[in-house]
Structure 1
Amino acid sequence: MKPLLKAAVLLLVASGTVHAQEQYPQPTPAMQAIVDKDVKRKFGDAPADPGPVATDLSAALTKKDIDKVLRKVADWQLARTMAYTDQIWTASVAYAGFMAASEATGDPKYRNAMAKLGKGFNWSLRGAAYPNADDISIGQMYLELYLKEPRPEKIATLRQHLDTLVDLDTLRPGDARLPWWWCDALFMAPPVWLKMWQATGERKYLDYVHEQWKKTYDLLYDQEEHLYARDAGYKDKREGNGKKVFWSRGEGWVMGGLARTLEILPKDDPQRPFYVQQLREMSAKLASLQDANGEWHAGLLDPQAWPLAETSGAALFVYGMAYGVNNGYLDEKTYRPVIEKAWAGLLKHIYADGRLGGIQQTGAEPAYYQPSSSYNYGVGGFMLAAAELKKMAVR
């Protein structure tokens, strides 16, 4: 048992009292510094008193019940998103979630809000002349709006940037790293390139995804564990129990990226089996790591060291698995119980006002956080999961 966790447990035993916030190790000073930075940048927050948990939600996989959950969480996040707008990746994941929420609920307000943002941003990107995967991720929202109502200005700047990047073998001139050198990039970038192929019909955007994903796979995919290292620096790192470090949200990004990639790829694309096999392998591994409460932990192979369930990774697992079941890539009898338990586990972290808690702050590895911890990117993943579950409910 890690010293910090052991101390927390001993304190609880000695005091004879257990409070929700005290059941888990508290963030170290270094972890708290990231929390403070994320709060300052308006990604979200982690209040000491988030209020009561929601008691009016059902985990049943019915259209009505899923819709109620989705609207409750989406409405809570939308108010915060529109109060502080940004083009950074944390916000862009939420934007992808809102687009899915609008499609799933039939309510245009979420999509209309995104259109307002895109116009306000002048359909531009943050970052330098060679934007990375995080920087272009907002293009998912731009392209979805374009495909609904084509207007050249919505994708003109984005297309110029992709045309600059498409012939580069590395991240940027003078930087030898792969364009997608960290696993999070597999969620942030491929849907942008693939949707640009949809919008323009130019095969180079589709080919780029196949080329770069394979490079990242060769670098980061663990053939024994069937999980991705967050980046090459984590391939030799170990948890306290001696097992490899596989970060919940990092695996979630890949699962979400696989779902969004497969959704767009041509049905007869010869590379489709490459992505399907990863979805199957990762789903099987993640299902084996689900705990008795239907949840997962920040460090997947050492859950005792990271006892608070983590919801951003779990939501993306649900999204990927539900997509796999809905499209016949995963066996429904095997995975529906996993999905149902996971959804029920996620709903335990929704508060009465619609806050989704249990989301780890930004980072690259497992960390400690508060049960109330809520950040926009985690809510974006949750909205994607809910939207895909609703498709399951109407099958």
Structure 2
Amino acid sequence: MKRAIILAAVLLCMPVFAAQAQPAPSATEVLATMERVADWQLAHPSSHATTEWTQAAGYAGMMALANLSKGPRYREAVRSMGEANAWKAGPRTYHADDLAVGQTYEALYVFYKDPKIIAPLRERLDFILATPSKVQSLDFQQKYDQVSELWSWCDSLFMAPPVWVEMSAITGDPRYREFAIKDWWRTTDFLYDPAEHLYYRDSTYFNRREANGQKVFWSRGNGWVMAGLVRVLDALPPQDPSRPRFEKLYRDMAQAALKAQQPDGLWHASLLDPQSYPLKETSGSGFFTYALAWGVNHKLLDRAEYEPAVVRAWSALVACVDKDGKLTHVQPIGSDPKSFAEDSTEVYGVGAFLLAGSEVYRIAEKGKH
């Protein structure tokens, strides 16, 4: 009798699950949406300085789109930015945020093969190698102009390490890669919670708790880490001895991200207390979608387990694009979960969306075969 009741309950639930399944988008649909969002951003340029981390994330997304789009306008728009900057990084020598734009310079170099594109960036990295920061501690209680010379906050793992590893791939000089690997694991040993498989934003969050008693793990902060992780893996040689450790970290974080995904397909601002932050949030969600879709495409994640989550996430992200192409529900600049206006947008949110779309596009392309 009990078995019959359980079976009946399962059968009753089956249509509900089927109704919730999201159809996979076509590659054409994905690309069209990416272009619509990118066109809105180009028509409404950010007021942030063109070497800032905010813009750097946007450029990374634009370059991902440029590699898929038939038209040259996205790559040309980004190249114009680089030329206007004289191919220089941000002004703070050691600050990870001011190196982030280098990811785009490197991507443009790979396309154009013009040495002047990466020359100032390489000069900056060489200076850091020759004159490393004297700061030793990652403790965020220090003066900011000291602690920010190291990768002492989790976002920095998107900003700087991919620049260093890609420079090594471009030049063949292993010193850049070795520097990035050493500092990545120094930051990870300090900020990563091995029980939750998530990163604290910085050391000031170690003892903070959410309203439900859970630890504070910020969605976009961990999205930054996962996006940085896949970009490092993209540039890391297959035979590099550190690769298995990076891949394990990636898989562990992917499991945590999958667990934290909400029924609406997105990740709310707080990963372990989503009920306290019920608003949709697209910047962290965009980075998670990008990272998980990348793992499916590179066969590091089980397709049957993760692809449905990616499809749900992409559908939810697209639903946050208004009729003009503006991406909404982007949490403003900050360092922890907060409430914000539903129509809020930012260029880094657009970058995350475009990066996500570039990998969802590849999933859709593979689905045709």
- Same fold at TM > 0.5: yes
Superposed CA deviations along residues 139-171 of structure 1, whole A, max 9, x for unmatched, are 111111112122222112111111122255547
Asked if 2 retains the 8 angstrom alpha-carbon contact of 1:170 and 1:178, the reply is yes
Q: What's the C-alpha RMSD, in Å, of the aligned pairs?
A: 1.9
Which of 119, 131, 150 is the aligned partner of 2:113?
150
* Matched residue, 2:140: none
| Separation (CA, whole Å) in 2 of partners of 1:246 and 1:97 | 24
Report the residue type matching 1:322 in the other structure: A
What do residues 229-272 of structure 1 show as CA deviations (whole Å, max 9, x unaligned)? 00111111111111100001001001101111111111111111
Within 5 A, what are the aligned runs for 1:298-313? 298-313=269-284
**8 A Cα contact 2:166 2:235, kept in partner:** yes
The structure 1 residue matched to 2:347, chosen from 376, 381, 389, is: 376
Deviations 1:317-343 (A, max 9, x none): 010001101001000000011111111
- Matched to 2:56, the amino acid is S
Residue number in structure 1 paired with 2:86: 122
Partner AA of 1:143 in structure 2: E
Higher relative CO (CA 8 A, sep ≥ 6), structure 1 or 2?
1
Larger deviation, residues 151-160 vs 93-102: 151-160
> Which AA in structure 1 matches 2:55?
A
Query: Which runs of 5 or more structure 1 residues have no equivalent in the other structure?
Result: 1-57
Distance 1:311 1:285, change over 3 A: same
Are 2:290 and 1:319 aligned?
yes
Aligned to 2:5: none
Equivalent position to 1:358, from 325, 329, 332: 329
Q: Which amino acid aligns with 1:387?
A: S
**Matched residues in 1 for 2:231 and 2:207: separation?**
29
Distance 1:184 1:321, change over 3 A: same
SS, match of residue 175 in structure 1 = helix
Partner of 1:106: 70
Alpha-carbon displacement from aligned partner over 1:106-142 (angstroms, at most 9, x marks no partner): 33210111111111111112223x2311001111111
CA distance in 1, matches of 2:204, 2:327: 31
> Counterparts in 2 of 1:125-204, with a 5 A limit?
125-128=89-92, 130-167=93-130, 170=133, 175=146, 179-204=150-175
Match of 2:243 among 272, 287, 299: 272
Could you tell me whether the CA contact under 8 Å between 1:180 and 1:212 is conserved in 2?
yes
Residue type at the aligned position of 1:226 = H
Could you say what secondary structure the match of 1:365 adopts? coil
Please tell me whether residue 91 in structure 1 is matched to residue 62 in structure 2.
no
- AA aligned to 2:279 is L
| CA distance in structure 2 between the partners assigned to 1:202 and 1:98 by the alignment | 27
Matching of residues 29-44 of structure 1 within 5 Å: none
**TM-superposed deviation, 1:306:** 0.6
Q: Is the alpha carbon distance of 1:80 and 1:131 closer, same or farther for their aligned partners in structure 2, counting shifts above 3 Å?
A: farther
Question: How far 1:373 moved relative to its partner?
Answer: 0.5
Q: Indicate conservation of the 8 Å contact 1:132/1:171, yes or no.
A: no
Q: How far apart are the structure 1 equivalents of 2:134 and 2:26?
A: 44
CA deviation string 1:16-65 (max 9, x = no partner) = xxxxxxxxxxxxxxxxxxxxxxxxxxxxxxxxxxxxxxxxxx97421111
Runs of 4+ residues over 4 Å off in structure 1? 82-85, 167-174
| 1:195-234 pair list within 5 angstroms | 195-234=166-205
TM-score normalised by structure 2 residue count: 0.87
Report the AA paired with residue 155 of structure 2. D
Instruction: Identify which range, 75-84 or 316-325, moves more after superposition.
Output: 75-84
The answer on whether the counterparts of 1:170 and 1:176 sit within 8 Å (CA) in structure 2 is no
Query: SS at 2:67's partner residue?
Result: helix
Matched, 1:76 2:47: no
The 8 Å contact of residues 269 and 338 in structure 2, kept in 1 or not, is answered as: yes
Structure-2 separation of matches of 1:381 and 1:97: 6
Take 1:291 and 1:314, find their aligned partners in 2: how far apart are those partners?
10
Mean Cα deviation higher: 65-74 or 175-184? 175-184
Do the aligned partners of residues 296 and 84 (structure 1) sit closer, same or farther apart at CA in structure 2, a change above 3 Å counting? closer
Q: Identify the match of residue 284 of structure 1 among 251, 255, 258.
A: 255
1:34 maps to: none
Contact 2:24–2:364 at 8 Å: present in 1 too?
no
Percent of paired sites with the same residue: 41
In structure 2, relative to structure 1, the CA distance for the partners of 1:228 and 1:111 (3 Å cut) is same
The runs of 5 or more residues in structure 2 that have no matched partner are 1-21, 137-144
Q: Evaluate the alpha carbon distance shift between residue 370 and residue 177 of structure 1 in structure 2; reply closer, same or farther with a 3 A threshold.
A: closer
Match of 1:183, SS state, is coil
Paired with 2:70 and 2:184, the residues of 1 have a C-alpha distance of 33
Q: Within 2, Cα distance between the matches of 1:184 and 1:312? A: 13
Question: CA–CA distance in 2 between the matches of 1:59 and 1:119?
Answer: 42
1:81 is paired with a residue whose SS is coil
- Report how many residues are paired: 337
